[in-house]
Every structure is written in structure tokens, then in C-alpha cells.
Amino acid sequence: MKKFNTLYVIGRYVCIAVFILFLFSCSHKVDIAKRLSSTPIIFPDYKNVTIPCDIAPIHFRVEKEIGDVVSAKFSSDVGKNIVVDADGKDISISSKDWKNLVKDAKSLSVEIVVNRSGVDCAYKSFHILVSRDAIDPYIAYRLIEPGYENWYKMGIYQRDLTCYEQTPILENSKTGNNCMNCHNFCNRDAKQMMLHLRAGKLGGTYVMQGDGLAKKLSIDVDSIKSLVYPAWHPSGKLIAFSTNDTHQGFHSSDRNRIEVYDQKSDVVVYDLASNHIFTSPLLSSQRSFETYPCFSPDGKRLYFCTADSVEMPRRYKDVKYSVCSIAFDAAHHAFGTEVDTLFSAHTTGKSAVMPRISPDGKWLVVTVADYGCFPIWHHEADLCIINLQTKECQPLSAANSRDTESYHSWSSNGRWLVFGSRRVNGLYTMPYICHIDKNGKASKPFLLPQKSPDFYDKCLKSFNIPEFVKDKVELKDIEKK
């Protein structure tokens, strides 16, 4: 038995030695003979982006490279260096190494080495800024095929931004494979959430408040059949909605394939305790389409979008939305008598929708398109930011692209904006994140990091309505009655 154990130990060490020799024989000793004048083409494009210090490691692949990708050297401004061997054309860094690298760092430089015909060539380094502004740990979104009419499987999911873990909040396999949308959180609180289920026995609006059970609202006004585009009051006691008669049409020859439009729409506020809906003539006029409500962080103003009511769909290009606000008294369910206009469709000739206000109440971001209320299908749609003190409106130029920018939401500290963009292929909406500084200036956005650089090539779902959340959502069940 002793002899057997000795042979076993010797054999084990021999195997380890052979394995080490194998690794060394397969590794490539880098000897840079040429330095290139250009930076590499990579996907996702993380060149010159600003990332939070607590984001998951960024993995990418080198594209359009005729040689073999050898390695990537990550260097921080505080003197830390990590060399990562390439896996084919992919560059991936371990979570442990990444956390050590970005700790205390303000910037990173990345040098990619490739081998062309036996010659090691180093690309010009590209840079990544590391912000000490932390980001909320989760985002929630709906995953759905970018179709027009039909679906089978969809769900609302959450992603841990510190790693790559995605978990379902609710999948429609548990609700009769119906449509679900309009998820929203009160002050980004994972325990206060609402969502909407369409059609079937479970169709309706559901609210979860702390107990993990989403309860169906019993609307006391028969004429209101749908409550969409929700916005919580910061008190957690009220939710503003718009009531929309929404339709969809197809273009026979237009760059924008689909037109989603409203025949009518109004803004209302729902009291969760009393099951009461109330509004104002200034928010529910037959002369106007009112939609996309949003409360100010202090709850004292209600922002909304409004357009002149015209014959639809014949005059769909004439529908252009202004962004307005009205005073609001939550305690007495009362609205002001004057409407303040922040973005004028009549002056700009554009349509602004989806207003979202920064937590400090200084900035408002909208999606601006040539016309209409549903910019997700408009290739020209861009993000703009409005200074709520001066009412000055500027495009978020660094964040925008040549294709669609649409739904967006702020982080808890007001330093990060997550938004949907179709810049990669014009069809699938993907989640991008950009930094917003104290002057309202955006950084170049980065695509949400995934474990595999090929993730977005293989993912046949759009990321819809990305929302920051301060903790993991624990939705145990929905009320079934």
C-alpha cells in the first residue's frame, strides 16, 4: 500500500509538470517589433468610454484584424498592470483581476498586441475613464423579440451590474404567455414595483409594496380600460398614468417601418389607498393628446407631454409633443391652474416624449423625434437634456448615435443614465449606459458588459424599458383572481 501511494504521488507530480510544460510551450512570448498608429476596432466599443468603478469586467473582441490577436495589457493610472492572453480574438479578464485593476484607478489604458506573419505588432493604446461615482447595483428590463404583432415568450428580468447574473422578475410562462410591460419602481426601490399584464384572466395593472406579492388594482372608473406609462409619486402613495387608445400602422415605403400612434390619451393619477382616480381638465382635454406623466423628485410638480389633437392616422406627421408641467398638491389631490412649457413643439418643430427627471431635480432628459409619441421605431430619435432652471435644451451629443435612442432612466445619484439604443444593427434595442456630470454633459456610452463578447450577436431579444433598481427584486407571485 505504501509503494502504491508513493507511485500515486510521483505520477501526480509528473502530470502537473507535463501540464505546466504544455502551457509554456503553447504560450506566445511577446516581443513587440512594430507599433501601429491606430487603435484596434473592438466590439463592444469600449474605447474612450467612462465606466463606474463597480461595473462588471468589460469583455470584448478585436474585429477586422488580419493577424492573430495575442494579448491585451491593461494599465491603470496608479501603476497596476495586468496582461491577458487572447482567446481567439476575444479578450476577457477575471473578476478578481478587474476589481484589483479599477480599485483607486481614475483611468485605464489598454494595449492590444497582434501577430502578423510572425511579427508582433502593438496597436495604439485606447483609454477608459473610471468614475468614482457608483452605479445602482441592478437594472430591470423586459426582453422581447422586436416583432410587430406576435410573441410567445417574454419576461421582465433584472441584471446584477457587478457581475453578469441575470434573473427573472416575472416570465409570461407563469401568466398564460400574455404580454407584460410598463414595469416601474418608486424611487428605484426594489420593494415597490408595478407592472402591467395584457389580456387573459390575469390582465390588469399590478402593484407590489414590500410583501413580494403583486396585487391587481381594481379600477373604479369603467371608462378607463388601460393605464400605461406609469410614474410613481415619491411618497409611494400615488401613481400617475396615461390612458391611451393606441394603434399601430405599417409604412409601405418609409425608413421607419412602423408607426405607433394614439387616437386619444389623457393623464390621470391613481390613489393606491382609496382606489380613486383623479385628474384635471388641463390633463384630460379633448383638444389635446396628453401622455407620459412624470413627477418631480419632491412630488410638487407633474410633468407630461401634450400635442394638439388631430385626425389620426391621416395626420400622423402633424402630431408633435411639447413637454409641460403643472403644480401638484398630493395631500389634497389638487392640480395647479397654469401649465408651464419646457419644450415647445411649435417652436422647435420636433416632438419630445418620455420625460425623466434627475434625482436632484436639476435636469430632465427627453427623447426627441421628428413627430409622434413612440420614438422606439424612429431612426432619427435622439436624447436631449433640459436644464430645469433655465429651460435650455441641448442634445446629449456624446450619447446619441445615427440610429434610435429611446427609453431612459436615471441612477439614484443622478450620475448615470441607462437607455435603449439600436445603434448596433438598427433592429435590436440594447442597453447603453453613460455618465452625466454636474453640468449635464454626457460621456460616450458603453454597452452593458456581458460575459461573452458574442452575447449580443446571439441574443435575439430587445432590451425594453431599462430601469435602475437599488436592490434585487423579490417578486414571489402575482395575485390570481
pLDDT above 70: residue 26: no
Instruction: Check residue 17 and give its pLDDT.
Output: 46
**Measured between alpha carbons, how far is 97 from 74 in angstroms, rounded to an integer?**
10
Higher pLDDT: 403 or 24? It is: 403
**Measured between alpha carbons, how far is 268 from 278 in angstroms, rounded to an integer?**
6
Q: What are the structural domains, with CATH classification, of the chain? A: 34-131 (2.60.40.3780), 138-478 (2.120.10.30)
CB 264 within 8 A of CB 246: no
For 29-87, the pLDDT digits (tens) are 788 999 999 999 999 999 999 999 999 999 999 999 999 999 999 999 999 999 999 99
Peptide bond into 375 cis (omega under 30): no
- The set of cell numbers assigned to 167 is 434573473
**Residue 248 CA to chain centroid, in angstroms?**
24
**Measured between alpha carbons, how far is 393 from 147 in angstroms, rounded to an integer?**
33
**Measured between alpha carbons, how far is 318 from 307 in angstroms, rounded to an integer?**
9
For 304-359, the pLDDT digits (tens) are 999 999 999 999 999 999 999 999 999 999 999 999 999 999 999 999 999 999 99
Backbone angles phi, psi at 457, to 5 degrees: -70, -30
**Measured between alpha carbons, how far is 215 from 354 in angstroms, rounded to an integer?**
26
Instruction: Check residue 167 and give its pLDDT.
Output: 98
Instruction: Check residue 259 and give its pLDDT.
Output: 85
**What DSSP line would sit under 62-121, residue for residue?**
EES-SSEEEEEEEEETTS-EEEEE-BTTEE---HHHHHHHHTT-SEEEEEEEEEETTEEE
Average pLDDT, the chain: 92
Residue type at 260 in one-letter notation? V
**Measured between alpha carbons, how far is 150 from 168 in angstroms, rounded to an integer?**
21
The residues that bridge with 81 in the sheet, in sequence order, are 75
Give the CA angle between residues 431, 149, 308 to the nearest 5°. Answer: 80
CB half-sphere exposure, 194, CA atoms < 13 A:
26
- Distant-in-sequence, close-in-space partners of 246: CB < 8 Å, separation ≥ 6: 228, 260, 261, 262, 263
pLDDT above 90: residue 449: yes
Which H/E stretch holds residue 340?
strand 334-343
Edge-to-edge strand ranges of the sheet holding 41-43: 41-43, 60-63, 90-91
3-state secondary structure of 386: strand
- Name the band, by pLDDT with cuts 50, 70 and 90, for residue 21: very low
CB 272 within 8 A of CB 238: yes
- Distant-in-sequence, close-in-space partners of 168: CB < 8 Å, separation ≥ 6: 155, 156, 157, 158
pLDDT above 90: residue 153: no
Backbone angles phi, psi at 32, to 5 degrees: -65, 120
Across 176-185, 311-320, 414-423, least confident range: 176-185
For 128-147, the pLDDT digits (tens) are 999 999 999 999 999 998 76
- The set of cell numbers assigned to 218 is 381594481
Q: Report in angstroms the alpha-carbon separations of 342 from 328, 389, 393.
A: 17, 10, 9
3-state secondary structure of 6: helix
**Measured between alpha carbons, how far is 443 from 236 in angstroms, rounded to an integer?**
32
Buried/exposed 328-361: b ≥16 CB within 10 Å, e otherwise:
bebeebebbeebeebbbbeeeebbbbbbbbbbee
Residue type at 466 in one-letter notation? P
**Which one-letter DSSP state was computed for residue 354?**
E
Nearest of 210, 131, 230, 188 to residue 359 by alpha carbon: 188
The pTM of the full predicted model, rounded to 2 decimals, is 0.92
